[in-house]
């Protein structure tokens, strides 16, 4: 559950009230895919608490299949509190101690319809602790054996890791199972992080960390570890598609006035996944992702702000189409 400040532009200490929404990267993406017209199933876990009821109720209303998402006794459903100070300050406070989703197990994976899906998508935060880490890697292996495409959103949250280098180790261990990797420049750099004196790096500090080479070289290294495609998310500039042995391909974004950047990357992922499942050329799929992300940054909330098919197509057509 995301608690968003209702006082746009107010400093965190001056916030007077919050509104409750449903968030979380794979959760947002599952709603985004469903609103575009795909069938989406979510493998997560809820606590046996009212927050879990709140999240599950929203997902059920949205048509997301949560039949494989168990309740975890003795665990809490995750929560995040967010301030909103556009255009570039969005402080987040995570409440994930003893959270339910990180307690997902291999048995939970075996009960989910991964082998019957066209795509299995997971996020880097899944790898931050056990038993979720092993369950996620197992699920990716299971998907690969079944011929299900595996999409890995790097989703690096520095405060969810005891050591930034641990994220790099975990991310690299997952790359052998991935077909497509998505991430920002900072996240790509973090995935190749092997040596730094500060183990508590923020996103902005990752680019300055002691990592050999630059982002372009890191993309090459990522591709050599397994995936066929790396999609670099560039914010207002759109995205860049990297393939093995091919020149990078830039896909422009859609200019908008930013209200809140949170959830934009997940909306992008939903659009990209839609195009991929529908067999579109990857550039067109990425362009749809850019449109979805652009729409979300003009709105308040993550999952609730994911665009529907008709509205995102109208948005894109008004701006030159996909």
Q: Residue 61 falls within a domain, yes or no?
A: no
Q: What's the CATH code of the domain at 276?
A: 3.40.1190.20
**Whether the predicted model's global pTM rises above the 0.85 cut:** yes
| Residue range(s) defining the domain that contains residue 113 | 34-43+101-317
Task: State the average pLDDT over residues 103-113.
Answer: 98
Lowest mean pLDDT among 58-67, 198-207, 271-280: 198-207
pLDDT band at 218 (very low <50, low <70, confident <90, very high): very high
Q: Residue 150 falls within a domain, yes or no?
A: yes
Q: How far apart are CA 279 and CA 273, in angstroms?
A: 10
> Contact 70/20 with Cβ under 8 angstroms?
no
Mean pLDDT over each residue of the chain, to the nearest integer: 93
Q: Residue 176 falls within a domain, yes or no?
A: yes
Would you state the pLDDT for residue 193? Answer: 86
Q: What angle do CA 199, 204, 209 make, to 5 degrees?
A: 50
| DSSP class of 81 | E
Please check the confidence at residue 145 and state whether its pLDDT lies above 50: yes
- The tens digit of pLDDT for each residue in 65-106 reads 999 999 999 999 999 999 988 777 888 899 999 999 999 999
Count of domains for the chain: 1
Q: Residue 243 falls within a domain, yes or no?
A: yes
Would you state the pLDDT for residue 264? Answer: 95
Task: State the average pLDDT over residues 31-52.
Answer: 98
Q: Residue 68 falls within a domain, yes or no?
A: no
The burial class, CB within 10 Å (0-12 / 13-18 / 19+), for 317 is exposed
Q: Residue 215 falls within a domain, yes or no?
A: yes
Q: Please report, for residues 33, 71, 264, 285, the alpha-carbon distance to residue 275 in angstroms, rounded to integers and kept in the order given.
A: 10, 32, 17, 4
Q: Residue 265 falls within a domain, yes or no?
A: yes
Q: Residue 62 falls within a domain, yes or no?
A: no
């Amino acid at each position: 559950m995301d608690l968003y400040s209702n006082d746009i532009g107010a400093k965190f200490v001056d916030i007077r009230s919050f509104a409750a929404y449903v968030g979380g990267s794979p959760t947002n993406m599952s709603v985004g895919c469903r609103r575009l017209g795909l069938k989406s199933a979510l493998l997560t876990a809820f606590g046996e608490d009212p927050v879990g009821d709140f999240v599950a109720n929203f997902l059920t209303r949205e048509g997301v299949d949560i039949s494989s998402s168990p309740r975890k006794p003795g665990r809490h459903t995750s929560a995040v509190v967010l301030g909103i100070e556009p255009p570039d300050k969005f402080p987040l406070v995570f409440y994930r101690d003893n959270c339910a989703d990180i307690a997902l197990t291999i048995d939970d994976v075996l009960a989910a319809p991964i082998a019957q899906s066209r795509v299995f998508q997971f996020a880097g935060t899944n790898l931050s602790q056990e038993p979720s880490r092993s369950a996620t890697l197992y699920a990716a292996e299971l998907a690969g054996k079944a011929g299900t495409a595996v999409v890995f959103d790097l989703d690096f949250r520095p405060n969810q890791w005891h050591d930034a280098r641990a994220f790099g180790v975990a991310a690299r261990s997952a790359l052998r199972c991935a077909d497509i990797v998505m991430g920002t420049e900072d996240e790509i750099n973090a995935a190749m992080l092997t040596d730094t004196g500060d183990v508590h790096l923020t996103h902005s500090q990752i680019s300055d960390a002691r990592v050999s080479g630059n982002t372009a070289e890191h993309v090459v290294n990522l591709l050599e570890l397994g995936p066929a495609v790396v999609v670099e998310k560039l914010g207002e500039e759109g995205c860049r598609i990297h393939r093995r042995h091919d020149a990078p391909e830039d896909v422009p974004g859609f200019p908008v006035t930013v209200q809140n950047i949170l959830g934009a990357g997940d909306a992008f992922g939903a659009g990209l996944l839609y195009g991929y499942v529908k067999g579109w050329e990857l550039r067109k799929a990425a362009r749809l992702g850019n449109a979805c992300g652009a729409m979300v940054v003009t709105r308040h909330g993550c999952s609730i702000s994911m665009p529907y098919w008709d509205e995102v197509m109208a948005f894109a057509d008004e701006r030159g189409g996909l």
